[in-house]
Structure 1
């Protein structure tokens, strides 16, 4: 009965949003609030409306329409996190982030700390029911969820969106202060409970600069495939942060998957399936083509090229976007050897643990998920997976070389690799050079 009521409530909520969209569009274009960037206007010739497109995620589709001058209303959503911010506001295209100057609480306290205010430039559309499944744009969230996931990646902090809280214009109200909205109820994330004496990922706590959100500026440069892959990876990274203190073994899976999803997109842009198969399996490709012809080689490549050499693809992607060592660092005895050679070995080990977790049910080694040590006189936590020669816990034992890095370091590594990739995606010249 409760499940049926939940479905009915969801349908009512969707209907209200749809009615609001239709009502808003029927009253024409409305101006945004005074705090929001106004689209450029030309009295002699107004900008042409953006062409409807299904080729972009909502966050980019809305941005492109906004740049062409379309704006129907302005909407506000609270963003929940457990970090605090410095800086007043940050704007990227139609998206404005406002610092609520939330009171600094104990570590892990989740509360609304930012407001997302954005210009809605998309037309309201009736839902369609296609005859064939399509998940090209699917990532399991809305436009606001896309923004929250990218904010989490850019900030290196947990971030989740609340429901629509205020609307400006759109035919619903002429009040310049906007109209409060309460029909979109979204579950509020709970505060983070640390199951140990200290945080497993202390790097996810503290203060963040609002200016970090300027990393959104390059988003319109991304292709459909790139943007979808980025959002999916950002979602996984954000989920890993939300779970890391209670279910760290699941966070490890999500962090590896976040990198692997981006690696798949990166590899696909390095050539056709046939070219990639020839690079990955040159002898096999030559034998297929010689005995059965180019047509069969193309069919085999289309089917299997992305599933061959998965570990190598994962490692190569990370090394191609290898970040510099973080600053500050602990004393040398507690540092890892931050070199391509070290990371190549570490990434292979981590990917092997991920495979065993998925296919054999063997969790990631527990020592990798222990809170990192912070020693007196150091300004950063230990980076190593273990500080001893070996360790034994919960029925398992591992030697030091099999425990390359702790989760706190790998979270920072994952974020930096993905941000380096995003930086290249937003720079066509850098992307062209990498492909060549």
Structure 2
């Protein structure tokens, strides 16, 4: 059972021409859009030519409903059918497409409501203007505060992203579900980054973890012990005097936790695109040779944020130092930092949210390409 947009798109394959639209939704973004229209199976993305600042309906998406919603009751027996939420991602087909657009371009993109419908008055070829679920959107966060300054320079090139988006209906069902969920988490992180950067960190990590969970962990036998040593150094140190059998038993007990963390770290190692082309001064640069270690720290912060409510360290919740001309710091500055009565060493705040956003998007887009 695939996602709505995936099933709808696959139902449109093989048609010789585009079908008539049934609805139109507005897609809000603070990025400038060029090109279009972009035809994607039963969906068309149109450029509204809107001024991207501050947050405008920059695109309109028209679509068709080709697949009916699943029945809840057996039409013959009148009995309730078994429930199924394997493809659930918390949104509509339009939300799926907005998230895929967001990930493919690295920009904020969100559905703002339905503006036109062709099913009310079928005699009108231009459709019936409507105002359904319309809520003018604004970029969350303080005015002038941008924790992800690089995304403000990115453009939406509708013609340039077509090849990547066209692979979506060709991806296997379970992988397509994971892609949509990861894209929606990435998109949520972009949208809320200025209002709640701690939430953005959680969403970015979750996007990678969602994609990583489609891969095998390979943690059996000696691999589990090695993972315990690499991922839980404090526990490993406490086991220093233990014999091999005890270490193996502890590793096997820890396997569920180790699997999740190992998948996350390995996924980033396999799919990251390396340092950005434009880099700041050397003292502001991230040590990419220690990327695995950085990912372990970030994964630990995410676990603390989810399970005991401890936010990410304050330096990781702040705007990066720099300018558009000279570049942006890849890591928070200083060998120590303090805020709100708490303090951290530099190794506890390895990179900025901006650096992690670029890392996450690079990994997810590369994974998407390999899926197809």
Bucket of the pairwise TM-score, normalised by the shorter protein: 0.7 to 0.9
Scaled by the length of structure 2, the TM-score of the pair is 0.82
CA distance in 1, matches of 2:222, 2:121: 58
More deviation in 142-151 or 367-376?
367-376
CA distance in 2, matches of 1:228, 1:178: 32
Per-residue deviation, residues 227-246 of structure 1 (Å, max 9, x unmatched): 11111111111111121101
* Residues 375 and 81 of structure 1: CA distance in aligned 2, closer, same or farther (over 3 Å): closer
Shift of 1:420: 0.7
Q: How does 1:73-92 map to 2 (within 5 A)?
A: 73-92=21-40
Q: How does 1:335-346 map to 2 (within 5 A)?
A: 335-338=285-288, 341-346=289-294
Which residue matches 2:367? 421
* Residues 123 and 352 of structure 1: CA distance in aligned 2, closer, same or farther (over 3 Å): closer
* Residues 111 and 72 of structure 1: CA distance in aligned 2, closer, same or farther (over 3 Å): closer
Which of 179, 182, 198 is the equivalent residue of 2:145? 198
CA distance in 2, matches of 1:125, 1:137: 12
Shift of 1:131: 5.1
More deviation in 256-265 or 73-82?
73-82
Which residue matches 2:262? 312
Runs of 5+ in structure 2 lacking a partner?
74-78, 227-251
SS at match of 2:214: helix
Shift of 1:85: 1.4
Which residue matches 1:241? 190
TM-align CA RMSD? 2.8
CA distance in 1, matches of 2:167, 2:312: 35
Contact 2:29–2:52 at 8 Å: present in 1 too? Answer: no
CA distance in 1, matches of 2:222, 2:45: 45
**Alignment length (residue pairs):** 338
Shift of 1:66: 1.0
1:371 matched to 2:319? The reply is: yes
* Residues 77 and 279 of structure 1: CA distance in aligned 2, closer, same or farther (over 3 Å): farther
CA distance in 2, matches of 1:282, 1:409: 31
SS at match of 1:141: coil
Per-residue deviation, residues 393-424 of structure 1 (Å, max 9, x unmatched): 11121222222110011011111111111000
Which of 71, 86, 99 is the equivalent residue of 2:47? 99
Which residue matches 1:115? 60
1:224 matched to 2:173? The reply is: yes
Which residue matches 2:329? 382
Shift of 1:80: 0.9
* Residues 400 and 192 of structure 1: CA distance in aligned 2, closer, same or farther (over 3 Å): same
CA distance in 1, matches of 2:52, 2:219: 51
Contact 2:98–2:110 at 8 Å: present in 1 too? Answer: yes
Contact 1:155–1:212 at 8 Å: present in 2 too? Answer: no
* Residues 411 and 399 of structure 1: CA distance in aligned 2, closer, same or farther (over 3 Å): same
CA distance in 1, matches of 2:362, 2:55: 24
The structure with more radius of gyration: 1
Which of 94, 97, 101 is the equivalent residue of 1:144? 94
Runs of 5+ in structure 1 lacking a partner?
1-54, 269-274, 284-300, 427-436
